[in-house]
Amino acid sequence: MIENKKLLIINKGALPDEYVTFLNKKGINAILLQFSPQKKYIYKNSKITDKLMNAFHRLFLKNNNYIYIQENKSYSKEYCIQIKEFFKKETFFDYVLILRPDNFDSSFLKIVKNHSEKVIGYMWDALNEYKYSILKKNKKYFHRIYLFEKEDLIKYPSLNGLKGNNYYFENEEIKSLKKENLISYIGNITKDRRDLFIEKMIPYLEKSNYEIQIILINNIDKELNSYLSKHNKIQILNTHVHNSEHLKAMAKSKVSLDLIPSYHTEYSFRVYESIYYETKLITTNKNIINFPLYRKENFLLIENELDFQKIPEFISTAYKPYKEEELSKFRFDNWIKNIFKH
């Protein structure tokens, strides 16, 4: 039983506190350990030799990953020092969950393995050849590696990976927020320019007479700000939006959008959050009809602009809620229990 064990969750970056506070409330003794470099690797400030090698790899070896390798190398020594210091205080864990294990090198993983009984890696992003090469090299340090994309299980069989999925956090305080006649979306502007897709969708969303709140985070091209800011339904930000704000928007909205990159076929966190917060979801994920809790009243697949015509009728129909036993298997604590069963 995982309730009687010590669990360590390792991540590069900044996860919300819910990851451990929620588990602790459910009786799971969990600690979250996050790694962020003291000094961020900036390519333009790197050595001239690195820039020349990067150019050589890209132009002659057709390898675009050299710069990412250098970035990871620049962080690995720092991370190893931090993990050694941590294990001076916390000597042993029954279970360790490493999120995005491709962010950590073999030296780091060896230290973790020596201080734990079972190490699980969860790759919540799609693989490419570079990420795969790291996981293949370090596979021996993991009891199991879970992969988010089903296609990656087929494409990279040597990992002996298991299929993973996303989850939701139970948060009664946020769930208690009053539902509004609101359609919301908070997301990044990406190279596939999903903002243009949203622009064309807005006239069909407006037919509902709901308030529309579209927040786009622009990290790729500041010149787009002046163009997009002309649209009174779109707000442009150049800063990160905290996860709690995403959840509050989902909880208050009767309808939300889920616009996934073309290379993703699996279900985003928004899908799981929508079933918990009882929010109708308009999604571009073609695989949504295979979601275990798919209901046509709750999910609308938009594959192209012709499908926009379906939006008004979808919004006008009532949401069809789920039973607690249907939802609970996708709750984070049960997700944790499941991955450590194998």
| Cα separation, 71 vs 104, whole angstroms | 11
On the 0-12 / 13-18 / 19+ scale of CB atoms within 10 A, 86 is middle
Residue 179 has pLDDT above 80, yes or no: yes
| Cα separation, 251 vs 100, whole angstroms | 28
For the domain 2-164, what is the CATH code? Answer: 3.40.50
pLDDT at 43: 45
Give pLDDT tens digits for 53-62.
555 556 555 6
Long-range pairs of 266-273 with CB within 8 A, sequence gap ≥ 24: 266/148, 266/149, 266/150, 266/165, 266/166, 267/165, 267/166, 267/291, 268/166, 269/166, 269/167, 269/168, 271/166, 272/166, 272/167, 272/168, 272/330, 273/168, 273/246, 273/247
Residue 38 has pLDDT above 70, yes or no: no
Which H or E run includes 24?
helix 18-25
CA dihedral 18, 23, 26, 27 (to 10 degrees): -140
- The domain made up of 172-329 is a member of CATH 3.40.50.2000: yes
Give pLDDT tens digits for 233-286.
888 887 778 888 999 999 999 999 999 877 778 999 999 999 999 999 999 999
Give DSSP secondary structure letters for 242-293.
-HHHHHHHHHHEEEEEE---TT--S--HHHHHHHHHT-EEEE--GGGGGSTT
Mean pLDDT of 121-145: 92
Count CB atoms within 10 A of the CB of residue 276: 22
Q: Do domains 2-164 and 172-329 have the same CATH topology?
A: yes
Where in the chain are the domains?
2-164, 172-329
Q: What letter represents residue 127's amino acid?
A: L
Give pLDDT tens digits for 276-325.
999 999 999 999 999 999 999 999 999 999 999 999 999 999 999 999 99
**Confidence band, pLDDT 50/70/90 cuts, at residue 106:** very high
